[in-house]
Amino acid sequence: MVEAAPERLELKRELFARLSALVGPQCVLATNTSSLPVTAVAGAASRPERVVGMHFFNPAPVMRLLEVVAGERSGEAALAVTRATGEAMGRHVIDAADGPGFLVNRCNRPFSLEALRLVSERLATPEQVDRICRLGGGFRMGPFELMDLVGVDVGLEVSRSFFELSFGEPRWRPSPLVSRLVAAGRLGRKAGRGWYAYDDGPHRPPDPEAPTAGGGGRVAVHGAGRMAQALRTAATGAGWELVAEDGAAELVLDCAPAFPAAPGTAPRAVLCAAGSLRELDPGGAAVGFHATMPLTAAGLVELTRTPASDPVAAAAAERLFASLGLHHEWVGDAPGLVLGRITAQLVNEACFALGEGVGRAADIDAGMVLGLNHPRGPLEWGDALGPEAVLGTLRALRGHYGEERYRAAPELVRRVRDHEPLRSA
């Protein structure tokens, strides 16, 4: 028996108490709740060991994923029946432990919450964040478009539930921006206006085609990390000559800045992963950049500048990245810029869930791709970026803000220390 009543705990508890008296002792009672604790629902049943979570994803006839959630007292026999039922329905079945958001919705929390934080700090507009996520990250829609689709008021209630069930976890603190939008009646598509206006025409212009790759010139790339290696490969493929001397380069891409650029050197662009541009090049004339990995899958690079940034460096960076077939977007200055920051938090939340035993690595990645249409799972993405790079961005964010919100998951720290990939378990 699968229950799909409205998300009200007392309603579900009353229903399960009544059903317990009607079904046979071997019947499995499954709740399709997406936000309520399965353990709390099962507490009203006469046989809580026969109660499990069977979380389908919208639209249920289309989405291939099924999340089987084990409550505190769910029996293995009931879980086995539920898994077999899901597989018979042609679903990809993943396992999750009971807790706020279970596995998939929990791991997706940073997608909207970190985007809201960026907008609240005026580092980017909602339109910019969505465009960066679509073009730079390969998401089908950005977080603000998604909030409008789901319902801004629905998202607010989910955020409040997460925060309350976690007893105030800083990573899950709701955003005042959403509360104000709801108070103004801007509830998303269903109300005709949320973060976007939904009139007769489309809510945004179509995304442009990628710039035509190819160009040429002389570029120097500093650093030995994955980004530096990917940039060297992309630059040579687009016709650029790699040079070792800064003075001979039209642009220096610094992926491992240890000190500010010396006066009189070539225009410089600094990778803003381990800090903000102001921190990495204090008082210098460089611009900052960030792109996701793998670079071959990215369609956009983010750029940032300070009042001291050289316009020549800005123009040179725009030209080089366009020659690589990448769009660019100018955003405010902070560690990781926009997508690097969102991605780091997605990877970090997945590592928290992994370390706490909420789900397995393969289930986390499959759940995010099949349940939420992410372009790749967060742990796969973390391995592509390099776990040490993700940890560096998180530590830079925590130092920048001084907040527990950006503390690194112990599992991420351990795997970096042990040189262990994130998807190895």
Q: At what angle do helices 339-355 and 387-401 cross, to 10 degrees?
A: 110
- Annotated catalytic residue within 10, 14, 32, 67: 67
What is the spatial distance between Cα 332 and Cα 185, in angstroms, rounded to a whole number? Answer: 29
- In a shared domain, residues 12 and 61: yes
What is the spatial distance between Cα 39 and Cα 241, in angstroms, rounded to a whole number? Answer: 62
34 in catalytic set: yes
- Annotated catalytic residue within 105, 108, 112, 309: 105
Helix (H), strand (E) at residue 157: helix 152-165
- In a shared domain, residues 290 and 243: yes
55 in catalytic set: yes
To the question of pTM greater than 0.75 for the whole model, the response is yes
For position 148, which CATH number holds? 1.10.1040.50
- In a shared domain, residues 113 and 167: yes
- In a shared domain, residues 94 and 128: no
Q: Is residue 264 part of a domain?
A: yes
Decide which of 330, 363, 382 is a domain's last residue. 330
What is the spatial distance between Cα 99 and Cα 165, in angstroms, rounded to a whole number? Answer: 8
- Annotated catalytic residue within 3, 20, 46, 55: 55
**Is residue 88 packed enough to be buried (19+ CB in 10 Å), middle (13-18) or exposed (0-12)?**
exposed
- In a shared domain, residues 60 and 7: yes
Q: Is residue 355 part of a domain?
A: no
Q: Is residue 119 part of a domain?
A: yes
- In a shared domain, residues 10 and 85: yes
Looking at 225-275, which runs of residues are DSSP E strands? 240-242, 251-254, 268-271
Q: Is residue 234 part of a domain?
A: yes
Q: Is residue 20 part of a domain?
A: yes
- In a shared domain, residues 22 and 65: yes
Q: Is residue 156 part of a domain?
A: yes
Q: Show the domain range for 111.
A: 106-191
- Annotated catalytic residue within 10, 14, 32, 34: 34
> pLDDT at position 245, please?
81
105 in catalytic set: yes
32 in catalytic set: no
Helix-strand-coil percent breakdown of the chain, rounded to 5? Answer: 45, 15, 40
- In a shared domain, residues 145 and 233: no
> pLDDT at position 216, please?
83
Decide which of 277, 312, 330 is a domain's last residue. 330
For position 289, which CATH number holds? 3.40.50.720
* 236 Cβ contact partners less than 8 Å away, ≥ 6 residues apart: 242
- In a shared domain, residues 120 and 84: no
- In a shared domain, residues 11 and 93: yes
- In a shared domain, residues 229 and 315: yes
Task: Record the tokens describing residue 190, joined without a space.
Answer: 């269903």
Cβ 273 vs Cβ 304: under 8 Å: no
Q: Is residue 342 part of a domain?
A: no
DSSP 284-335: ---EEEE--SSGGG--EEEEE--TT--HHHHHHHHHHHHHTT-EEEE---ST
Q: Is residue 252 part of a domain?
A: yes
Domain count of the fold of the chain: 3
> pLDDT at position 262, please?
56
pLDDT tens-digit profile, the chain (425 residues): 999 998 889 999 999 999 999 999 899 999 999 888 999 999 999 999 999 999 999 888 888 999 999 999 999 999 999 999 999 999 999 999 999 999 999 999 999 999 999 999 999 999 999 999 999 999 999 999 999 999 999 999 989 989 999 999 999 999 999 999 999 999 999 999 999 999 888 899 999 998 888 888 999 999 988 999 999 999 999 999 999 888 889 999 999 865 555 555 789 999 999 999 999 999 899 999 999 998 888 899 999 999 999 999 999 999 999 999 999 999 999 999 999 999 999 999 999 999 999 999 999 999 999 999 999 999 999 999 999 999 999 999 999 999 999 999 999 999 999 999 999 86
- In a shared domain, residues 285 and 229: yes
